[in-house]
Amino acid sequence: MSTRLLRKRPSRIGPAVVVALTLLLLAVGLGWAGIAAFVTTGSVTAALAGTSGARVTEAAGNLHWNSAVVIAVGIVLALLGLVAFILGVSPGARRILGVRATGSEHIGDLEVALPTSALSQIAAAAADGVDGVSGVKASSNAKSTIVTFSTPIRDFEPIRAEVEAAVKDRFASISFDRIPTVRVQARRSQS
Amino acid sequence: MRRTAAAANRTGLIILGLIALLAGLAVLAIGFGLTASIGPAVEAGADLGPVASVLALPYSALIAVVVALILAIIGLRWLSVQVPRKDFAKPFRMQADARTGLTTVNAEVIAEAVAADLESTDGVSDAQVILRGTARSPELLIHVDADERADIDAVIAEVAERAAGNASMALGGPLSAVALEIGIARTRSRRQRSVSIQ
């Protein structure tokens, strides 16, 4: 099979919605101006600037290409364009981790994956089982997990080592294509 | 697991991004006097009057309305494809000989049965299943929510062996592809999943 069934990279829904809404806003503005010009002049040959055309051209006549406003607009437009272009071209962060699995005779192609959010939850649950841990937070990307736990104990180094061992053990029990690296940070909670 | 318009989104972002980038760079080039050699209208000190005079041309309102309609159609269409789709298979035709009648099975029905089968697996609390492809080469997309302490490898083996085996038996042939995504069930509070002794 050429295409994978599970999507590995983000599909840029957020930026696409923002750009589509901007297009719609532009459309509404242009349509509004056009129809307003039809109504005020009462003919199809109306100019967009309508009867107030003199005012628009006069305002534009007062603006120069090297004025701060025009240059600022140019910079903003170029930056937004660059951001959209980069969002379109760059593949984006991987959102799933591959897991090795042996297929069976009734499956042609087996693909197993764990989202990075699930990885964080598994790591947090493993750390939560260690004695002396009062709270856990974990964040992951496709290659690594950072576990931050809080503990009321002053000398937290032994607990940190125990948490790291627990999370690494848990990850080792899952046959990842590549086992994610684990980093553990301790924070002392007041109690 | 659901299908999104990733390719369309990226193409749209690249095209519109390039247009905005080039327009912005053109404005900057004129503003910083890089185009002064082309003509007096694009000198850094020139005013924007010639640009605005386009708006005073006859029929420009009509053109604006047409452009607005086109932009609105593109924007609405782009927005409408953002909802992730399940894209179930069309009903499977299971009969051997169409002259004696048709036997059709809805993909949703099989998917629901597979999901119910999966939910009886140890360590799995919830399952969503999408069936795509055809009756001869079905593709099964599975999302299971496993318990945070479940043996993930055992869950995978159970899904691949038992649940996929049952599905392939129901469909009467091997599954051409199976994709399994494993999520972790939302954690209940610590009190609910542990026993405390007083």
Q: Do B17 and B101 share a structural domain?
A: no
User: What is the pTM for the complete model shown?
Assistant: 0.80
In a domain, B86, yes or no: no
Residues 37-76 of B with CB under 8 A from A: 42-49, 51-53, 55-65, 67-72, 74-76
Which of B10, B28, B83 to probe by mutation at the A interface, max A CB count within 10 Å? B10
A19, A103, A173: residue with CB nearest B12? A19
* Domain that residue A45 falls in: 13-89
Q: CB distance from A37 to chain B under 8 Å?
A: yes
Taking 90 as the threshold, does the pLDDT of residue A163 lie above it? yes
Q: CB distance from B14 to chain A under 8 Å?
A: yes
Taking 90 as the threshold, does the pLDDT of residue A44 lie above it? no
In a domain, A106, yes or no: no
Q: Do B125 and B61 share a structural domain?
A: no
Chain A residues with CB-CB distance to B183 below 8 A:
115, 117-118
pLDDT the model gives residue A115: 93
The residue among B36, B57, B80 that closes a domain is: B80
The residue among B57, B80, B103 that closes a domain is: B80
Q: How far is CA A65 from CA A112, B27, B109, B131, in A?
A: 57, 8, 65, 59
Taking 50 as the threshold, does the pLDDT of residue A1 lie above it? no
What is the domain-level CATH number for residue A162? 3.30.70.1350
B40-76: pLDDT as tens digits: 777 777 778 777 778 878 888 899 999 999 999 999 9
pLDDT the model gives residue B59: 86
In a domain, A24, yes or no: yes
Residues 94-153 of B with CB under 8 A from A: 137, 139, 141, 148-149, 151-153
Q: How many domains does chain B have?
A: 2
Cβ of B116: how many Cβ atoms within 10 Å? 11
CB contact under 8 A, A65 and B168: no
Which of A71, A107, A122, A136 to probe by mutation at the B interface, max B CB count within 10 Å? A107
Q: Do A117 and A83 share a structural domain?
A: no
Q: Among residues A96, A184, A188, A97, which one has the least CA distance to residue A146?
A: A184
CB contact under 8 A, B27 and A102: no
Q: CB distance from B172 to chain A under 8 Å?
A: no
CB contact under 8 A, A66 and B31: yes
In a domain, A99, yes or no: no
Q: Do A124 and A72 share a structural domain?
A: no
Q: Do A85 and A148 share a structural domain?
A: no
Taking 90 as the threshold, does the pLDDT of residue A113 lie above it? yes
pLDDT the model gives residue A20: 96
CB contact under 8 A, A46 and B58: yes
Q: Do A81 and A116 share a structural domain?
A: no
Q: How many domains does chain A have?
A: 2
In a domain, B193, yes or no: no
pLDDT band at A55 (very low <50, low <70, confident <90, very high): low
Cα–chain center distance at A162: 33
CB contact under 8 A, A63 and B175: no
Q: Do B178 and B112 share a structural domain?
A: yes
**β-strands A110-115, A96-99 pairing:** antiparallel
What is the domain-level CATH number for residue B127? 3.30.70.1350
If DSSP codes are grouped into helix, strand and coil, which group holds residue B191?
coil
In a domain, A141, yes or no: yes
The residue among B80, B112, B136 that closes a domain is: B80
Taking 80 as the threshold, does the pLDDT of residue B187 lie above it? no
In a domain, B102, yes or no: yes
B13, B72, B160: residue with CB nearest A12? B13
Chain A residues with CB-CB distance to B18 below 8 A:
81, 85
* Domain that residue B39 falls in: 6-80
| Paired tokens of B141 | 């997309």
